[in-house]
Amino acid sequence: QRTPGGSAGLLTKTRTRTQRPPLYKVLLLNDDYTPMDFVVHVLERFFGIDRHQAVEIMMTVHRKGLAVVGVFSFEIAETKVTQVMDYARRNQHPLQCTMEKE
Ligand code: TYC
């Protein structure tokens, strides 16, 4: 975008930077003990992911060690992590969920 400026009639460039809130990836980590069905259930329950996609993501975590489950604002990401960790703990599974700035 160009706007006129300067007494000699020179053009001065101005640029407006769009402000975007930082986003956070929510990651699910693999372990040897949490049942596959439980992980699929967690993905459906807390992330609104359908069964087919949930199985795919769970298997990615199982094979690769971790996967991104979703990308959210800080507050939403933090809430998801807390919900998953509390739910896993209540069910006595060692499932780990963390967040990371994108
Ligand atoms: N590795 C687990 C098993 O074999 C399954 C699993 C998948 C655990 C994803 C955690 O985030 C996870 N039962």
Q: What is the pLDDT of residue 10?
A: 59
Return d(Cα 71, Cα 17) in angstroms, integer.
Answer: 22
Is a pLDDT exceeding 70 seen at residue 64? yes
- Residue located nearest, by CA, to atom 12 of ligand 1: 30
Is a pLDDT exceeding 70 seen at residue 3? no
Reported confidence tier of residue 88, pLDDT bands at 50, 70, 90: very high
Q: For 24-55, b where at least 16 C-beta lie within 10 A, e where not — what string?
A: bbbbbebeeebeeebbbbbbeebbebeeeebb
Reported confidence tier of residue 13, pLDDT bands at 50, 70, 90: confident
- Residue located nearest, by CA, to atom 11 of ligand 1: 30
Please determine, for the modelled complex, whether the ipTM score is greater than 0.85: yes
Q: What average pLDDT does the structure give for the chain?
A: 91
Q: Separation of 5 CA from ligand 1 center, angstroms?
A: 62
Q: Of ligand 1's atoms, which has the minimum distance to the CA of residue 66?
A: 11
